[in-house]
Structure 1
């Protein structure tokens, strides 16, 4: 059974909330780190967060496309 327009809208809303949440948390962790190990750890976390954000953005774009097809 293929998803309905309402299902797609709900999924799209969840994805957009996740993107907003991750974007806010990304900007809030910018503080001085006490040593290089912490700095490296923060860089790794930032790279992982960015990868997740990119996947969420791609999913959002796919959902918008599906929504256009469902509404069209």
Structure 2
């Protein structure tokens, strides 16, 4: 596995992999929502919310992801 440095931006390939895995999670594992909290080496605590309904913003505020690499 490639060693990542804190604060280094994701490569295009890493970003596509992340989106693909999130889509797979949504297709295979998603129930109603998932709430995750993790400690970032750069930003402190980061909160991630994945859900079937938008929370805290209108649906129009979200960027639609339409071009994922198939794999």
Please state which band the TM-score falls in when normalised by the shorter chain.
0.3 to 0.5
Greater strand content: 2
Greater helix content: 1
Larger radius of gyration: 1
